[in-house]
Every structure is written in structure tokens, then in C-alpha cells.
């Protein structure tokens, strides 16, 4: 694969910030705290790897990348600054390097299946296995070379075969680190259940919330404040509406949430789907009309040819 092809993929991933994320990489156990920048970079690299894997599948000769190193992502400082939404932050270099260091630390993923089909109930793995800071000899431009772990590569490659959640990096840039963590978790339950139970999440307790926010509160009332602040962010700035549900038969010490798509986003999404459907119908009609004209033209030519033969 030539360098132009790789650059095109990176540019595409900068423009198209929607991607599908395996739910196993959302419902993880955080072993170390992660900043907002680390979580956004994590998702960008996930998206970038998906693009490269999809590119592999569409090539005529099959896989072009023979080693995992060829899935490395190289990003200049201006590009990574834009990805992380740090255009107005003068401390961006420090935040970038901290994010990279945080992604080199392991997380714990549940129900991981390796290439041989073996199931690991718990598997610790980092997202990035190594990073390099390269400075061009001629112009002095600095870029970061980031390599994903073999285990994460395998999960990303198999995302479509497992329950996944569609996310958008631009939405996540509007949230704090806790907001991103909660948003992804809630988003993964948005379409689960049916009827009255649709969008209901598993109950949240002190242990789950402390894990989610990487906190160490002793009382549910304290961590509930963090939860409610994050919910307010999500309701104000994303495509979701979250509400707390009071259950008559609910257990003490548990919080019940329901996640739904906001009416504003639903209207916007439906308008877009209708527009795409109309465009598709117009193209089909145009194609049918063109095909009909072509067939009629062939029939006339055949008739004329028959007369000439006489």
C-alpha cells in the first residue's frame, strides 16, 4: 500500500467521526484514570484501525497489511491537536503526551475471545503497545507513531460480529472525561429491551459508579452527585435524554436509568433518512429510465438491422 493511500485513510477518519465500537471495549474495568483526551484519542485510533481493516477487505488481492506494525497511525501535532479539540488550548503538547501515556496502561476487558476461539472471562490489555515521537530531519516537523495492541486489533476486526454501539467523536468532545465514560455506557444500552423496558440500563450501585468514574466514594449519595452532573451534560449536549426511574420493587442502594434518543435528534435523523431514501429512489428511477431507453434503442436497432438484411 502506498503512502498516499494511508494518508487518504487518515484524512477520511478526520472527516468521518462516526464509528462502531465493540461493547466489550465500552463496558470495561478501568485500572488507571484516563483523561478526556485519552478517551477521544482511543476512539480516533479505533476508528482509524476500522478504516484500514475495511480497506483491506475491499482490495482485490486481500490483506495488504502483513504485520501489525503496518496498522500504526502516524499523526502530526496539528492533526492530533485537531482530533482532541485542543485548538484553543496552549498546553496541548503536554495533554497529548499524557493521553498517549494513559493509553499505554492496561484496561480489563470481559469475555475476550482470542484468534483460536479461546474465551477469557477477564483479559488485561493496553490500547497502545508502543509510541514513538518522530522529528523530520529536513523540516523538523514532529509526529507521533502509535501502535495498537494485537488483542485490541483482533477485537476491532471482529466488531461487526459482536454487539456494538455507534458513536461520534464530535459529540464526545463536548463532554468531560466522566461524561464520556457514562455516555458510552448508556449509549450501549439505548436500543436494548422492548416495549416499556426499552432503553433501561442495568441498575447502578456504588461499586459500579466508582469503577465508571474511577473514584473511591464511600457513600452512594456522594457519587450520585457526579452521576447527575454527567447526566446533565449528556442531556444538554448530546443526542440522548437520560432520566432516573423510580422502581417500586427496586433495591435500596441502586439507581435506575432509562436512555432515549432526544426528540430533536430523532427529527434530524429521520429527515436525513428520508432525504437519503428520496435520493436513492431518484437514482433508481433515473437508472430504470436510462435502462428502458437503452432497451428501446436496442429494439429499434435490431428492427432496422432486420430490414437491412431483407
| CATH class, range 1-168 | mainly alpha
Residue 160: the pLDDT is: 82
| Residue bearing the bigger pLDDT, 152 or 296 | 152
C-alpha distances out from residue 303 to 225, 293, 298, 307, Å? 82, 15, 9, 6
Residue 122 has pLDDT above 70, yes or no: yes
Residue 144: the pLDDT is: 93
198-220 pLDDT, tens digit each: 788 999 999 999 999 999 999 99
88-112 pLDDT, tens digit each: 999 999 999 999 999 999 999 999 8
151-200 pLDDT, tens digit each: 888 898 888 888 899 999 999 999 999 999 999 999 999 877 776 677 88
Domain parsing of the chain, residue ranges: 1-168, 174-261, 271-310
Residue 65: the pLDDT is: 47
Average pLDDT value for the chain: 83
Residue 64 has pLDDT above 60, yes or no: no
C-alpha distances out from residue 13 to 35, 66, 207, 260, 295, Å? 22, 22, 36, 27, 42
Fold of 174-261: Arc Repressor Mutant, subunit A (1.10.10)
Amino acid at each position: 500500500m502506498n503512502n498516499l493511500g494511508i494518508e487518504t485513510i487518515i484524512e477520511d477518519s478526520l472527516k468521518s467521526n462516526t464509528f462502531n465500537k465493540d461493547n466489550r471495549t465500552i463496558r470495561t474495568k478501568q485500572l488507571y484514570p484516563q483523561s478526556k483526551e485519552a478517551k477521544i484519542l482511543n476512539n480516533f485510533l479505533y476508528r482509524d484501525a476500522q478504516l484500514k481493516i475495511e480497506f483491506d477487505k475491499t482490495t482485490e488481492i486481500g490483506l495488504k497489511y502483513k504485520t501489525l506494525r503496518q496498522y500504526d497511525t502516524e499523526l502530526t501535532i496539528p492533526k492530533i491537536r485537531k482530533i482532541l479539540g485542543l485548538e484553543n488550548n496552549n498546553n496541548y503538547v503536554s495533554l497529548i503526551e499524557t493521553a498517549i501515556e494513559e493509553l499505554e496502561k492496561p484496561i480489563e476487558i470481559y469475555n475476550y475471545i482470542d484468534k483460536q476461539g479461546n474465551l477469557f472471562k477477564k483479559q488485561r490489555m493496553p490500547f497502545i503497545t508502543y509510541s514513538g515521537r518522530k522529528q523530520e530531519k529536513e523540516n523538523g516537523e514532529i509526529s507521533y507513531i502509535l501502535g495498537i495492541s494485537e488483542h485490541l486489533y483482533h477485537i476491532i476486526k471482529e466488531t461487526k460480529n459482536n454487539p456494538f454501539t455507534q458513536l461520534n467523536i464530535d459529540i464526545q468532545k463536548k463532554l468531560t472525561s466522566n461524561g464520556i465514560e457514562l455516555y458510552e455506557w448508556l449509549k450501549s444500552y439505548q436500543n436494548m429491551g422492548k416495549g416499556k423496558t426499552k432503553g433501561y440500563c442495568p441498575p447502578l450501585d456504588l461499586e459500579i459508579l466508582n469503577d465508571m468514574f474511577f473514584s473511591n466514594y464511600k457513600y452512594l449519595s456522594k457519587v450520585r452527585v457526579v452521576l447527575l452532573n454527567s447526566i446533565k451534560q449528556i442531556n444538554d449536549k448530546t443526542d440522548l435524554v437520560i432520566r432516573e426511574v423510580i422502581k417500586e420493587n427496586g433495591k435500596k442502594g441502586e439507581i435506575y436509568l432509562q436512555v432515549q434518543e432526544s426528540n430533536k435528534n430523532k427529527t434530524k435523523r429521520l429527515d436525513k433518512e428520508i432525504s437519503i431514501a428520496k435520493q436513492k429512489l431518484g437514482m433508481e428511477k433515473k437508472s430504470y429510465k436510462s435502462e428502458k431507453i437503452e432497451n428501446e434503442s436496442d429494439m429499434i436497432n435490431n428492427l432496422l438491422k432486420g430490414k437491412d438484411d431483407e
